[in-house]
Structure 1
Amino acid sequence: MNSMDVLVRRWHLDTESTVPPFEQIRLRILDLASSGGLAVGSRLPSVRALAAQLGVAANTVARAYRELEQAGIVVTAGRSGTAIASGGDKIAAQVAAAADAFAGVVRELGVSQAQALRIVSAALEHH
């Protein structure tokens, strides 16, 4: 199964969503990279091919790829295309660092664990 098939299998852009299309694409690729659905080194479809498949402008896909590249999730090598650069390890490390920082603030301010968990749960539901 090629990367195009993996990307669009049982998934489509939600045109009713308040989440912009480029962000939906970015999140889809991020999810596949972190779950192993797209292995490190997997080449992504060209910007034009994915845009045509999803029925969006090429700039929409290009922005998703650009943001993923800035985050270190994909790497673009000119005519060689765009490929998955890192999987869940980098993502997990970033989340763990944020959790450590949050835990430090919680301890410093004397917030209970139960209250801290309610706060973070509310924040996750909000985003």
Structure 2
Amino acid sequence: MIITLTDSGPLLVDQIGDQIRGLITTGLLPADQRLPSVRQLASDLGVAPGTVAKAYRTLENEGFLVTRIGSGTRVSADASATPRDVLAAATKLVQASQREGANIDEVIRVLRAVWPDQ
């Protein structure tokens, strides 16, 4: 599992959560995949264990992860990858948006505007 953190931008806990969430939704972390322990990931990333623990708790509350004593933290069986066609379309949307200089907030507004029943 590859996670990279930056000093600028969102809080470290949010960066960790966002990246793990992304790995799950893209299918790079499949259901039942065991994640590193809190201490191991904290050591690997050079952050406090509490930061990783908070990210894991948030993802568990969102249904992405399941933690059990003795078996560690795993990707939830209920967490599913985004369908390939949706992921491909999203990738194209991001590329077109970057070419045109649109930011994520603008893209989200467009998606909400074109989404049926909004």
What is residue 29 of structure 1 aligned with on the other side? 20
Deviations 1:60-86 (A, max 9, x none): 000000000000000001121000011
With the length of structure 1 as denominator, give the TM-score of the two structures.
0.62
What is residue 14 of structure 1 aligned with on the other side? 6
Note if 1:88 corresponds to 2:81.
yes
Task: For CA contacts below 8 A with separation 6 or more, give which structure has more relative contact order.
Answer: 2
Q: Which structure 2 residue ranges, 5 or more long, are not aligned?
A: 83-105, 113-118
The structure having more radius of gyration, on CA atoms, is 1
Look up the SS of the partner of 1:79 in the other structure: coil
What is residue 53 of structure 1 aligned with on the other side? 44
Give the length in aligned residue pairs: 87
Distance 1:79 1:121, change over 3 A: same
More helix by share: 1
With the length of structure 2 as denominator, give the TM-score of the two structures.
0.67
Superposition CA RMSD, Å: 2.2
